[in-house]
Amino acid sequence: MSEFQQNFDIVIIGGGVIGGATATFLARREDFNGSIAVIERDRTYEFASTPRSMGGVRQQFTTPENIRISQFTAEFLRNLPDYLAVEGETPDLSFRQNGYLFLASSESETAMRRIHATQTREGAPVALLTPDEIGARFPEMRLDGVTLGSFGTEHEGWIDAFALVQGFRKKAQSLGVAFLNEEAVGLTLDKGRVSEVQLRSGIRIGCGIAVNAAGYMSGSVAAWAGLDMPVKPRKRMVFVIDNRRPAPHWPLLIDLNGVYIRPEGRYFLCGVSPEESEDSDADPADFEVDHDWFETRIWETLAARALMFEAVKVVNAWAGHYDMNLFDHNAILGPHPDVPNLIHATGFSGHGIQQSPAVGRGVAELIATGGYESLDLSAFRVERIAENKPFVEEAVV
C-alpha cells in the first residue's frame, strides 16, 4: 500500500528485551508525550534470543563503560517495583545472586589481575580468589590448572530472562505503547531519513524516528537503509544436564577454555562458544541442536572440574542466536550519520539482557533530548566503525 495505515512518532523494530526496555524508559519520561509502536513478529518470543539465553547478570567486564552499565542493572534489579510494577504487581525475575566465577591459569592470570584493577577502580564488588579460597567456597570443585579466580561477590548471577522481557512489555503497554504483532520487511527513505517501516502484511507505518532493536536480524534492518552494520547472527547452544546431585550454591562458572555452567533447580545449564575461526555466520532460521557438541566440547571439561559431573545425562537442549558485533564485540548505539533518524541498539554479543536497562534508558534519553543524561554511552557510537576505532570488550562469553 502507498498510503500510511498508521503513523507513530517512534517505531521500534524488535520487541525483545532491548526494544521493550527502550519503549518503557521512553514512555516513562515526563518530557516525552509522543506515540510509540513496537513491531514484534514473534508474539510468543519462542525464537527470540532473550528466553534462549543463560540470563546472566555480571559486573565482571573489562571496560569501565560496560561495568557502569552493569552497575545500573544492579540498581534496577534492587528497585524493580519502581521501574516495572503495574497496578501494584512486579514481575518475579527470580534473581539468583550466586555470582560469576572466572578461572585463570598461569597464562591468563596477569590479564585477570589487570582487568580486576579496572573493576576495582569502578567500584565493582569483585574478589580475586586463590585456589584454596575457591575450594573453601566451592568444595565440589577440582582446581587442576587453576592459579586464580575472579568472583562477583554481590549483584551477580542470573535472572529469568523471559520474565524480564514480559515485564518490559507489560509496563510499556500500561504506559500506552502499542505492540504490533507484525514483521518488518523494509524501510522507506525520504531525503536520507526513514519515513516508513514496511510490514510483511503490506501495511506501511509512518514514523518520525525508527529504532533498530532487531537483535540478530539488526544487520538486515540496517541494510534496508543502505547501511553496512557488522552485526551477524551467531548460533549458540545450551544443554540441560542432570547429574543427580543438585548444588544450588554453585556459581555461574566460566572455565579456562570458556565452558560455562550454572545450576537451574535440580539441573545445570551449560554451553561453550566456538573458537572464532569456526564461528561462522548462522542462518537466522537455524535452531537445530548439534548434540555431539556436548560430548566433544563440554563434557570432558565438566568432568575434570568436578566429580559430580563425571556421570551426567542431557535432558534438554536448545539453540539461539547472539547479535554478534564482529568489529569489537561491543554494543552499537545511536544514529548513523547517513540516516540520522534511524537509531541503532544492537551488537550486544551476548550481553543484551544484562545491558538492557541502561541501554533502554540511554536510547530514550537520545530520543527525548538528543544526548545522554544519566550515563555517557558515547563510546558505543556508530561512527567508531567507519573511523576504524574499535572499542574492545574482552570478556565475551
Residues 22 and 79 in one domain: yes
Residues 53 and 136 in one domain: no
Summarize pLDDT for 164-206 with one digit per residue, the tens: 999 999 999 999 999 999 999 999 999 999 999 999 999 999 9
Give me the pLDDT at residue 47, please.
86
Residues 239 and 364 in one domain: no
Give me the pLDDT at residue 1, please.
37
What is the span of the domain harbouring residue 77? 6-87+161-230+328-386
Does the pTM exceed 0.85? yes
Summarize pLDDT for 217-261 with one digit per residue, the tens: 999 999 999 999 999 999 999 999 999 888 889 999 999 999 999
Total domains, the chain: 2
Residues 128 and 108 in one domain: yes
Q: Which residues of the chain have pLDDT under 50?
A: 1-3
Show which of 287, 321, 355 is a domain's final residue. 321
Give me the pLDDT at residue 383, please.
97
Give me the pLDDT at residue 3, please.
46
Report the CATH number at residue 242.
3.30.9.10
Rg of the chain over all Cα atoms, to the nearest angstrom:
21
